[in-house]
Amino acid sequence: MLRAVAAEVPRTEIQSPEIRELIRDMKATLAAAPDGVGLAAPQIGVSRRIFLVSEEANAIASGAARGTDPEIPKHEWEQRVFINPVFTKRSRTKRGMPEGCLSVPGKYGSIARPDKVYLEWYDEIGAAHGRGFSKFFARVLQHEMDHLDGILIIDRAKEMRDVEA
């Protein structure tokens, strides 16, 4: 499943009970993952072009350390839903940073990705959106998009390392 290109969700099916249940399951899975800020449907065994990104990614991008804000427990971070996402622009400037992945536990690798992206997508009620993202949030979007295209961090990182305890 992780190596397959995920199928698009027909716009008429976005509000279907099946897709609503999938999004609920994905939100619960991401909220329960202590180190995750994003999750793609293929990671839970469903080949659909849907991923979530936690607003925690914006906090990390602004320099807030993970888990240091007692006012916002992990399970309460808002999770944005991206359905049938498409990058229409990516900056030429790339930055290498370490990345981990819930599908490759205990490992990380440095990956060079564009600093800025412009993404078009549908939300969970079927509304169309388009906007630019930068910094860590843009990196997470690209990581999750890779999952929709059957690409893992082990395919992009030059060298994988063990996470030190």
CA distance 123 to 20: 11
Could you give the strand order of the β-sheet that contains 107-114, starting from the edge strand earlier in sequence? 94-100, 107-114, 160-162
Does residue 165 surpass a pLDDT of 70? Answer: no
pLDDT, tens only, 2-18: 999 999 999 999 999 99
User: What Å distances lie between residue 152 and 29, 49, 103, CA to CA?
Assistant: 19, 15, 8
Is 144 catalytic? The answer is yes
Task: Tell me yes or no: is domain 11-162 CATH 3.40.50.300.
Answer: no
CA distance 114 to 95: 6
Tokens standing for 127?
A: 């509304």
Report yes or no: 122 and 128 within 8 Å, Cβ to Cβ: yes
- The single residue of 56, 99, 124, 144 carrying the catalytic annotation is 144
Instruction: Render pLDDT for 47-75 as a digit per residue (tens, 0 to 9).
Output: 999 999 998 887 776 666 555 555 555 55
Bridge-partner residues for 73, per DSSP? none
Question: Which residue ranges make up each domain of the chain?
Answer: 11-162
pTM of the model: 0.91
Residue 67 Cα distances to 37, 58, 102, 121, 158, angstroms:
12, 13, 17, 29, 29
